[in-house]
Amino acid sequence: MQNDLKLFIELAEFLISEEQNKPVAAPIDTKALYQKLNLQLEDEATIDSEFKALLKNIIKSTPKTASTSFFNQLFGGRIDRATLGDLLAVMLNNSMYTYKVAGPQVGIEKTILHKICNIIGYPEEADGTFAPGGSMSNYMAVLMARDKYNPSVRNEGITNKMTLYTSEVSHYSIAKNASFIGVGRQQVRAIKTNDRGEMLAEDLDLQITRDIQQGFQPFFVNATAGTTVLGAFDPVKSIHEICKKHDVWLHLDGAYCGAVIFSNTYKHLVEGIALTDSFSVNAHKMLGTPLSCSILVTRNKAYLHQSLSNEAEYLYQTDSDDFNLGKTSLQCGRRNDALKLWTLWKSVGTNGLEAIVDHQFKLANLARDYINKHPDYTLFSFDDSISVCFNYKTISAKKLCTALYEESKLMVGFGNFKGQDFVRMVTINSLLNEEDILNFFKTIEKFVISTDI
């Protein structure tokens, strides 16, 4: 192992120098991928020097998500203390299903879950679990709701028409999960949004009422804290009023921006969160831990147990259910995703998490200011969002983003809202500074002059 630890440090340092010297790796055309890199698996072993050279080549060509030119999708950067925790988790290699196998790592996971429940104002009987990503956190939420309102489904399967509700601009995992849980995509109702992309509670009420009249069983509403494209926040309090009126589960999908709970300045965006039945947040998005680190909490842990526990004598041989995390998990063997968030949180404190969140809004404000001051740009997004959506001159967003990528200038994506296409930059990497944001715009401007796009 000692040799490979040394090799690891060498490769990690190579990666860091690569991402400084060449922040956007030259993309390899998919047609040339298997010619350019020897990815083939052969019968014979590879000699060490070749192995190292090949790893370096792979590192060179792999997109650099921690560079100052990565604004593509909802993660980025490399926070050292969180990365340290993840590296340790790999070395320790525990499975989180039992206390016997994970020991104090169980306490680390539980501490994070309880602290988050406490911060959002959930009652004593709240608890949660970690998932392999936000889509899977949403999956567990809708599963708990299905089993709460229709407990016989677990054994007998679905017999009645259950319906669920989410805004027209929410994450695609909601529809996918509706098919996973046997309710079906056709039973997902898309709720209208206002011109900022926020769910209209009136339309929610209307659609639930109509479904009840037609003999459906509404059971679940998904609200979003930070919609995937615009970064909009659905109004939790008014949505909760409707959920209470019709007795349906309210989940808040905070995969993208749920981390505003750590900010005294921005937590008003999720006002009413204490009233939800479940809440999920991806620490690998705003909090900047390595992928993946997704958390699901629910106000009553009984629903977690009802939907997720199975007796397994071969597995649960010691300790109580509160310490055997496999009883409240989607998976059996499960990687330790908690340690990286714990090492980060422990070293910077809750105030440090707040600073991480606030800095991203500060960078977004700076980007919006820049756009508003420059007549060649048109802004499409709103305050209180870390998605900054815009067009430059009359250039197609798709064309611009693709050319910037192919020419190794910037990694940035495009999006669409109510028929309008635009560039979507996200200021989610809290390690960036103001200069990096200004450089982003300068790079676009210089690029457009130098090409005839």
Ligand X SMILES: *Cc1c(COP(=O)(O)O)cnc(C)c1O
List 23, 76, 85, 134, residue binding ligand X (CB under 6 A): 134
Q: Is 294 in the site for ligand X (CB under 6 A)?
A: yes
Q: Does 193 bind ligand X (CB under 6 A)?
A: no
How is residue 284 written in tokens?
């690998």
Q: Which one among 67, 98, 135, 276 touches ligand X, defined by CB under 6 A?
A: 135
Pick the closer one to ligand X by CB: 183 or 252.
252
Among 173, 187, 263, 298, indicate the residue that binds ligand X (CB under 6 A): 173
Closest by Cα among 180, 421, 412, 140 to 295: 140
Q: Strand 188-191 relative to strand 217-224: parallel, antiparallel, unpaired?
A: unpaired
Q: Is 255 in the site for ligand X (CB under 6 A)?
A: yes
Say whether residue 256 binds ligand X (CB under 6 A): yes
Distances in whole angstroms, Cα of residue 434 to Cα of each of 48, 431, 439: 43, 10, 9
Q: Where are the alpha helices (DSSP H) in 321-453?
A: 338-373, 397-406, 434-450
Structure tokens at 53: 């050279």
Both tokens of 324, joined, read 């055997």
Q: Which stretch binds ligand X (CB under 6 A): 128-136, 309-317, 369-377, 422-430?
A: 128-136
How many angstroms separate the CA atoms of 382 and 389, rounded?
9
Per CB under 6 A, which of residues 371..400 are in contact with ligand X?
none
Closest-CA residue to 221 (of 211, 213, 231):
211
Q: Is residue 76 a contact residue for ligand X (CB under 6 A)?
A: no
Q: Minimum CB separation from ligand X for residue 253, in Å?
A: 5
Please, how many CA atoms are within 13 Å of residue 173, restricted to the half-sphere of its CB? 20
Q: Is 133 in the site for ligand X (CB under 6 A)?
A: yes
Q: Which of 166, 278, 292, 336 binds ligand X (CB under 6 A)?
A: 292
Bridge partner residues of 389 (DSSP): 424
- Asked if 253 contacts 278 with a C-beta cutoff of 8 angstroms, the reply is no
The residue number whose beta carbon is nearest to ligand X equals 134
Instruction: Identify which range of 48-56, 194-202, 251-259, 392-400 contacts ligand X by CB under 6 A.
Output: 251-259
Out of 83, 207, 224, 328, the only residue in the binding site for ligand X (CB under 6 A) is 224
Region 313-332 residues binding ligand X, contact defined as CB under 6 A: none
288 lies in the binding site for ligand X (CB under 6 A): no
Q: Is 253 in the site for ligand X (CB under 6 A)?
A: yes
Cα gap 359→353, rounded to integer Å: 10
Strand partners, 422: 415
The stretch among 30-38, 222-230, 267-275, 297-305 that binds ligand X (CB under 6 A) is 222-230
Token look-up 């046997």 returns: 182
H/E stretch holding 162 reads strand 162-167
Where on the chain is the footprint of ligand X (CB under 6 A)? 74, 133-135, 171, 173, 224, 226, 228, 253, 255-256, 282, 292, 294
